[in-house]
A and B are shown apart, each in its own frame.
Chain A
């Protein structure tokens, strides 16, 4: 079957989709967007986290056909020139993860970036206080990292929140 939806603001069409396949498979294997990672395929790890109609979800647990007409945002969309390739500049959450050393093998990173971006949208982005440790841990509870022990990740979220709050008050 054919599925039409929006990814990172652009209209896309996927053809020859098997009705039982996941949105994650469509993104990676049919649309050439390998940022969302395929690990557990059962919602345990969060590596495939995307925005789906404005809320975060594990794309491995969305049937491809459910995406028809919907808006999907992937980790590729966090960079400032999404979908064009070449010299894209990183988004604030991505910069903060690099600066804080919150990346080791990198496999869980895309999911953490999307989930962190959502947390910041709902907090500092909505004029609220920057999230405290407990709120960060709760927001990232569905994203497993087997390398870092999470401390650097939490540092990166604090840093990103600080920078986004500054950028928000400057504009």
Chain B
């Protein structure tokens, strides 16, 4: 096994191109588990922790650009305002030790349907920046997850950054597990209201072969939501939204929960996230008035 230590993005992309069977490693919280348990013996490890471009973040008028190698702890400390849903999801990842190492880029590379980053990235219509020696391109999160643990990333590409649109309304994240810490989601849900464009975004985790959206639920809420004043929604509307989110899920029965339980939990989380969002929306609009 080779251990490659690129110190610039250009070197990293060259290493990736030269070693398509190699495994990029950043925080190591997934890659090292596979190595420790003899599940993986890649011909090369490409250590990305020395590539400064990957660990930077910044916010301009339209976007927050989050380097793929920024650990969750930094997302929580610095991006709770600019990327509320992703910061909330980051707070629910594993333990402090894991949050100090694990990254959104790694979550995307592994593409586990249970990864905490995915629902917020779907709900907020984030874009993933990927690069190779051939050049750089952007893929919408909504087009990134193809099938179980398969993504739009080509074998010579690295995930370099996540582009998060400026938050223009309430963003929520909710997760069900057996305890608060150190838990893989039984299922998770994210909701983002884009006030400027009057769009609703959703993201569902751990309830299908890939992270997914509840598009019918989004369209329903876009039509029903009071974008002017954020008046409380009728109970029937809130319930219908929950049902539509649950209906979009394609869960399986496994050791963490049954398909039926996951659908039920999603309908409850969707209703709660919507109620929290209406409350936030009213607070925000009363501040503006």
Contact = CB atoms under 8 A, between A and B. Distances in A.
Interface residues of B, number: 29
Given A61-B33, A66-B28, A20 B96 contact: no
Nearest to A141: B181
Given A62-B28, A63-B28, A65-B47, A43 B37 contact: no
A65 B101 contact: no
B3 A19 contact: yes
Interface stretch (A51-59, A86-94, A152-160): A51-59
Interface string B48-90: 0100000000000000000000000100000000000000000
Contacts of A65: 3, 5, 45, 47
B101 A62 contact: yes
A145 interface: no
Contacts of A55: 73, 100
A63 B3 contact: yes
A41 B2 CA distance: 22
A22 interface: yes
Contacts of B96: 56, 115, 138-139, 141-142
A19 B94 contact: no
Interface in A4-62: 18-20, 22, 41-44, 46, 49, 52, 55-58, 60-62
B255 interface: no
A66 B49 contact: yes
A1 interface: yes
Interface string A58-100: 1011110110100000000000000000000000000000000
Nearest 10 pairs of A and B residues by beta carbon: A142-B95, A141-B181, A19-B3, A41-B36, A65-B3, A61-B32, A55-B100, A42-B33, A19-B1, A61-B28
Interface of B: 1-3, 5, 25, 27-29, 31-33, 35-37, 41, 45, 47, 49, 73, 94-98, 100-101, 180-182
Given A41-B33, A63-B25, A141-B95, 5 more contacts: A18-B1, A19-B3, A58-B29, A62-B32, A142-B95
